[in-house]
Structure 1
Amino acid sequence: MTTGTTGPADDAPLFGAESQFSAFFDDPRWALAMIRATVLEAAHPQIGAALVDNSTFVAHPWRRLRNTFLSMRRMFDADPAVREREAARLNRLHARMSGSDSRGRAYDAMDRAARAWVIATLFESAVTMCRLSGQPLDRVTMERMYAEYRAFLAALDGDAGELPADLHDFWPYFDGVVENVLENTEAARVILYRLFDHLPAPALLAGAPTLWAAGRAVVSPLIGAITVASLPEPYRRRAGLPEMPGAPTAMQGAYLAAGLTRFLPAGWINAGTIIETLSLSPGSDDPRARTVTALHARMKQASALLRLLTPLRGDTGDGTAPAAPGEGRRMAEEFFRQVLDQTGDGHLDWPDLAAMARELATRLDLDEPEETRLYDAFAAWWRELQAALDTDGDGRVSAGEYAAAVPSLAGPALIRVAEVLFDATDKDGNGAIDADEYRALFRTAFHRDLTITDGTYGRSAFVGDFLSFMSGRRTNTPYDPLLADA
């Protein structure tokens, strides 16, 4: 089975800028299609269980979006070396995810049938988005795109045998999985009914909680209704998903409106730029930060005006809860929620620390063995935390157990995490982090609060700052967005 480098009809490349996939990447319709595909993925019992146990999409959806976008760009890069390196990274990531669901059924993120279903949902949702927007794909284009997605699967699994070889056979396969395999899983319900209702603001809107909450209250139910209406009818029936009156019309209108963007001048919509801009924090040294900072100021003004008109109970106007007199640091519960509980399930366990390691390894673009060293260090820290904080012996740490203990707990294992992270960031191994290495980790220039005399960041200072942050003793440091950003 070939991984595919040329198309079946016109010998056009299956990867790179000339692929059909790349043509859709900056298409606003793709956002709707991706939400739909994600629900269909999460409805698969194996994938849904893996998402519930390991994913950060609830607590850190914007970070997850950015990393997913970057990964898909790499997987469809024209350079085979880039694709192979990213496939190896994804396989290492998935190999660390296995367990059992709430019904005791085993799941494994390396299950080939489940991985094939992920690719199948992306392809079928792309076809569906074109049909719903009044621009159905012709047979030749559809076959070429199907070849691209099979090549994507082959790049991950070594071959594409889990997907039918012919497009004609794909549709019975897809319908069979929908009717016989998919379930109303917890992960699917979270995406449909919880994720958008509680979606945290991206960095751009972090200082305008009232404005964000008001907009979210209007948009979230609409997105949910549109997504449900777009799902295959057999799945909606089996899962008992209600279809709101008027939802099919709203769905059709949303896809048609998004499809009209094809009349905009080329380059006006760039998904990468949009995602990067949303991720920028005001005050960043990125050249785009001046615009972001100005927009942020406008958002805060609008939020303040809206708050005067419709005050929200308990809102202070700056996104924080009213501070207790004399409170000098983040409360233990807040630190637990924002930093430690990466999966957003209300408990601290190994998947949370694994998510931290995964995010840091992604930022630094680590290969083996550096990635494994980082995971091993976090695993040792988890064992240390579990031994010290898990008072009821249930194998995880609750917010109450954390708050009742010493929040500033920082033992040898956490020191080891800091040292391994320093070594991974110090790419040239000279014992200090320079400006470029610092930017790779923090995505900004040297923080103004750092005491740097020679243009570098030394090991002892790095380890001390990291320990102070991870033990909840210091806030407003460059480490805050590193693991706490949405």
Structure 2
Amino acid sequence: MSDSTILGPHSLLGGYCDDARWGLAVVRATVLEAAHPQIGAALVDNSSFVAHPWRRMRNTLLSTRRVLDADTGVRDREVARLNRLHARISGQDEQGRPYDALDAGARAWVVATLFESTLTLTRMSGESLDGPTMERLYAEFRAFLALFEGNADQLPATLNEFWPYYDDMIAQGLENTEAIRIILFRLFAHVPPPPLLRSQPAVWALGRAVAGPVAAAIIVASLPESLRRKAGLADLPGAETLSRGVHLGSGVATRVLPRSWTRTDTVLNILDSGALTGLRRRTSQAALLFRLLANDRDEAPAARSADRFFAEVLDQTGDGRLSWPDLAAMAREIATRLDLDEPAERRLYDAYADWWRELLAALDTDEDGHISRQEYAAHATTLAGPALIRVAEVLFDVADADGDQSIDAAEHRALFRTAFARDLDGTEPGRYSRGDFVREFLAFMSGQRPSTSYDALLAEA
């Protein structure tokens, strides 16, 4: 069954999406996806998950909830947006093999890994699903795939047929890809702090040094043994026991603690603002917004060096160089936040594409198709050219939802919000004129002046 009417916020899948421990299943599924040669290559070349994992997590949750929304209009709009996003991702891996984010088989594997990882999560958490419940959950995942593909033919029709397909993919369809190593070792070892701990880098670095390898070991121990052997992932002593303990503990917490404590958005909001600082932050938000809208420079953060600006803002994919996927990631973040329709989204991507061509012409001195840190540092003052001005103009147009030629408080928080569910409260004074908005954007994107707003949009992890 692939009838999309079985989906919605009250579906089994919707329940898992609202459960914070589902993050374990999503990370595990991402490793399985990364072992697929097409998906792994697309992740390495285009994804911002290494440099901006917390932002990526929030956006994934937001997108999934839109797809599961009870309003079919919201659902269809999000599916169309994601299909447009994936249509822009294609290329070749290091062996010259093509990849395409719209490949039906690869997309089916993404859904398959999420389904199987969800079952693994429930099993390792000390829960059991009866046969009809598993069948229902599988039908929901097939319906999820059908929303994007028009059908679910790439996944077997029944749960009994799914397991031979899954085993065959593990044995024949997966490889030891670079993306696996990046997720398990680079991401866990270098994940930036969540907003809650951003002001405590030493504390985060110390905790990450211990927790990073442990988190990687927990995920590795939960993977199929055949994939661990294929990818050369070591079986660390005690890792399987630790993994079972963490999963079991998460299951116990879910059953014992109040439901509101274990919701995904609750955990994300704590990571974003901190339970202890949330009240203070809320009371200061109106004043902060007023300063932003009033173009107040007095409390601006210290300016970044060219190297830091390159790493924190321009290099969205975290691969150490500036290329088209970095600018596409910026456009994608804006389009996601504003939930743009196709014409507005196309204007935004086209403007960023023009800026990329302008950057190549100005900065790519060795003509290798990307811009190194050294090339950027040597010519950084040339960034604010006509194409970047055009990006600023288009960004203003798509953010100005009511077309009144100013950015009011509601439009400001739609673009610059920093958390999944938290918005600014009340009605704040002040507006951005077109000129102020464009000047702010140009000053930030050319590295001339920092901006709290644009940091939240493009720089924060």
| Structure 1 partner of 2:216 | 224
Query: Is 1:483–2:458 an aligned residue pair?
Result: yes
Letter in 2 for 1:455: G
Q: For 2:316, what is the secondary structure of its paired residue? A: coil
Give the Cα–Cα distance (whole angstroms) in 2 for the partners of residues 419 and 4 of structure 1: 39
Query: Is 1:61–2:36 an aligned residue pair?
Result: no
Letter in 1 for 2:246: A
Q: CA deviation at 1:234?
A: 1.1
| Structure 1 partner of 2:391 | 417
Q: CA deviation at 1:34?
A: 1.2
Aligned counterpart in structure 1 of residue 380 of structure 2, from 401, 406, 409: 406
Give the Cα–Cα distance (whole angstroms) in 2 for the partners of residues 433 and 362 of structure 1: 18
Q: For 1:242, what is the secondary structure of its paired residue? A: coil
Q: CA deviation at 1:275?
A: 1.5
Q: CA deviation at 1:409?
A: 2.6
Give the Cα–Cα distance (whole angstroms) in 1 for the partners of residues 453 and 309 of structure 2: 15
Aligned residue runs from structure 1 range 325-474, under 5 A: 329-407=303-381, 409-443=383-417, 455-474=430-449
Give the Cα–Cα distance (whole angstroms) in 2 for the partners of residues 343 and 2 of structure 1: 35
Q: Percent identity at matched positions?
A: 61
1:24-67 CA distance string (max 9 Å, x none): 23334312111110100111000001111100000000000000
Q: For 1:407, what is the secondary structure of its paired residue? A: helix
Give the Cα–Cα distance (whole angstroms) in 1 for the partners of residues 334 and 55 of structure 2: 12
Distance 1:439 1:4, change over 3 A: closer
Distance 1:290 1:236, change over 3 A: same
Q: For 1:140, what is the secondary structure of its paired residue? A: helix
Distance 1:441 1:290, change over 3 A: closer
| Structure 2 partner of 1:3 | 3
Q: For 1:267, what is the secondary structure of its paired residue? A: helix
| Structure 2 partner of 1:10 | none
Task: Give the TM-score normalised by structure 1.
Answer: 0.86
| Structure 1 partner of 2:196 | 204
Bigger mean CA deviation after superposition, 188-197 or 108-117:
188-197
| Structure 1 partner of 2:272 | 279
Asked if 2 retains the 8 angstrom alpha-carbon contact of 1:33 and 1:126, the reply is: yes
| Structure 2 partner of 1:164 | 156
| Structure 1 partner of 2:298 | none
Aligned residue runs from structure 1 range 273-312, under 5 A: 273-280=266-273, 289-290=281-282
Distance 1:385 1:233, change over 3 A: same
Q: CA deviation at 1:136?
A: 2.4
Aligned counterpart in structure 2 of residue 38 of structure 1, from 30, 34, 39: 30
Asked if 1 retains the 8 angstrom alpha-carbon contact of 2:189 and 2:208, the reply is: yes
Please, what is the CA RMSD of the aligned residues?
Answer: 2.3
Q: For 2:381, what is the secondary structure of its paired residue? A: coil
More relative contact order in 1 or in 2 (CA 8 Å, sep 6+)?
2
Q: For 2:261, what is the secondary structure of its paired residue? A: coil
Q: CA deviation at 1:368?
A: 1.3
Asked if 2 retains the 8 angstrom alpha-carbon contact of 1:281 and 1:289, the reply is: no
Give the Cα–Cα distance (whole angstroms) in 1 for the partners of residues 408 and 244 of structure 2: 52
Give the Cα–Cα distance (whole angstroms) in 2 for the partners of residues 288 and 406 of structure 1: 38
| Structure 1 partner of 2:258 | 265
Distance 1:54 1:288, change over 3 A: farther
Q: For 1:171, what is the secondary structure of its paired residue? A: helix
Aligned counterpart in structure 1 of residue 244 of structure 2, from 252, 257, 261: 252
Q: CA deviation at 1:240?
A: 1.2
Q: CA deviation at 1:264?
A: 2.0
Give the Cα–Cα distance (whole angstroms) in 2 for the partners of residues 332 and 267 of structure 1: 43
Letter in 1 for 2:343: P
1:112-170 CA distance string (max 9 Å, x none): 00000000000000111111122122111100000000000001111101000010000
Q: For 1:375, what is the secondary structure of its paired residue? A: helix
Which structure is higher in helix share? Answer: 2
Give the Cα–Cα distance (whole angstroms) in 2 for the partners of residues 283 and 427 of structure 1: 34
Q: CA deviation at 1:276?
A: 3.3
Give the Cα–Cα distance (whole angstroms) in 1 for the partners of residues 22 and 156 of structure 2: 24
Q: For 1:413, what is the secondary structure of its paired residue? A: helix
Letter in 1 for 2:103: D
Give the Cα–Cα distance (whole angstroms) in 2 for the partners of residues 228 and 90 of structure 1: 29
Give the Cα–Cα distance (whole angstroms) in 1 for the partners of residues 455 and 155 of structure 2: 43
Q: For 1:478, what is the secondary structure of its paired residue? A: helix
Letter in 2 for 1:37: A
Letter in 1 for 2:84: R
| Structure 2 partner of 1:309 | none
Asked if 1 retains the 8 angstrom alpha-carbon contact of 2:417 and 2:456, the reply is: no
Give the Cα–Cα distance (whole angstroms) in 2 for the partners of residues 288 and 40 of structure 1: 41
Give the Cα–Cα distance (whole angstroms) in 2 for the partners of residues 385 and 17 of structure 1: 44
Letter in 1 for 2:368: D
Asked if 1 retains the 8 angstrom alpha-carbon contact of 2:409 and 2:429, the reply is: no
Q: CA deviation at 1:23?
A: 2.3
Asked if 1 retains the 8 angstrom alpha-carbon contact of 2:380 and 2:446, the reply is: no
Give the Cα–Cα distance (whole angstroms) in 1 for the partners of residues 210 and 269 of structure 2: 25
1:156-200 CA distance string (max 9 Å, x none): 111101000010000000000011011111111111111011010
Aligned residue runs from structure 1 range 162-201, under 5 A: 162-201=154-193
1:233-280 CA distance string (max 9 Å, x none): 111111111110111111111111111021223322221132234234
Aligned residues: 438
